Amino acid sequence: MLRVVSILGMILGSFFLTACTTVEPWQRGNLADYAMQPDRDPLYNVMSEHIYFSREASAGGRGVGGGGCGCN
């Protein structure tokens, strides 16, 4: 009996684990706002990418060609 109750408890409890919810297509007004765009400022993007890959000294950075020396 205890086993059945614990199994049922786990199954019911699993419903509360579903923290993720789906934003329906008609509820995406705020997400579609210009201010929500991560790439709304192209100049800022170029500058920050340049700084990022120079500081990280990584090959290529974020899709930018180069060796990470910051000299391009």
Considering only 10, 35, 43, 71, the residue that binds other proteins (CB under 8 A) is 10
d(CA 64, CA 72) in angstroms, rounded, equals 10
State the minimum distance, in angstroms, from the CB of residue 5 to other proteins.
Answer: 14
Measured over the CA atoms of residue 58, residue 59, residue 62 and residue 64, the dihedral's sign is positive
- 24 touches other proteins by CB under 8 A: yes
Considering only 1, 4, 5, 20, the residue that binds other proteins (CB under 8 A) is 20
Side-chain-side CA neighbours of residue 70 (13 Å): 11
Q: Could you list the residues that contact other proteins (CB under 8 A)?
A: 7, 10-11, 14-15, 17-18, 20-22, 24-29, 32-33
